[in-house]
Structure 1
Amino acid sequence: MIKMDDVVREGHSALRTKAEEISFPLTEENQKLAADMMEFLENSQDDELAEKYELRAGVGLAAPQLALSKRMIALLIPGEYEDDPPALKQVMINPKVISHSVESACLKDGEGCLSVDREIPGFVVRHSRITVTYFDVNGTSYKKRFKGYPAIVLQHEIDHLNGVMFYDYINEKDPFALKDEVTIIE
């Protein structure tokens, strides 16, 4: 079971290194990694388990955050209401943004990260809509569009695969500066 001690923190070289592509069929080790990453997100969003294991809630996790140079991410974005099914629940292998909107968006409260133990105020401006190609754990390929919050989360996690941290996007001089055309997501 993945715990917070397994998640590397900022300053670790794995977070600044471009991760390696994964080949198919997946090895048993990579299948287990995919299952473990999703289990971590599920546990982190379960109040009882999160408290028991001292987990910070997360909606995404990338293999480099576990010091593994693998292009694998897990996403578990809750539905709008408590009893809704997840808005997105997927392990993606070798995900790639192949196109994006000209329009930009950011989260009103900024972004956080399981690998960052401090609050970093500021807007992280990203694409409003993206099209992503990826493989699931069975090797099936997908091409899907995402918008709004799921698009933001996906870009955050794919950045981890490329050695990019969310705060790299924050304007150092004026962290809350925005161009007029940027949509702020509540």
Structure 2
Amino acid sequence: MKSSPKKRVQLAVTAGSAVLALLGATGCSATSLQATTLQYSASDGIVEQVGPVLLRNILIITSDEGEPGRLLGTMFNESDSPVQVTIDGENESSQITIEANDKYVFEDEVDDDGTLQGISEIPGALVDLDFTVNSESQTFRVPVLDGTLEEYREYVPGGFTPEPSPSEEAGEEDH
């Protein structure tokens, strides 16, 4: 049984309408990037890799622009041999040896606290740091934070002094 040309056109229009309705029901998700497929740093610091070294939650804590800053975070050496990591900042360079399949946690190091002199950016900004492992080098924009968050207060070089709130300042004027 053959269908008439008119019937075929009606079927094509119906099928096309169904496809359009289906696309409309899916919203923009058919053409939009899904945020759950993106990899990102789920922390305050950077999450990167240079050669066999994983950089996890690397950030700088400082009290203000021009003041010393302290590196926080962890570096993991995933290789079977020790590696030399060089971190070049604005005014200085640090070299750290990480043993094979070991880690270096800045917060745990008392002798070498990872202090960088004269951070040129205010808390909330990003500072370029060069990380070199063996002969591979990469520059990353590392966030600068202050002691506003309680978990970072003990790491602020020179200690953390909170800013007075507007209500505290107003109360001082009344006296």
Same fold per TM (> 0.5)?
no
Q: TM-score, normalised by structure 1?
A: 0.24
- Relative CO higher for 1 or 2, CA cutoff 8 Å, sep ≥ 6? 1
- Relative to the length of structure 2, the TM-score reads 0.25
Higher strand share: 2
Report the structure number with the largest CA radius of gyration.
Answer: 2
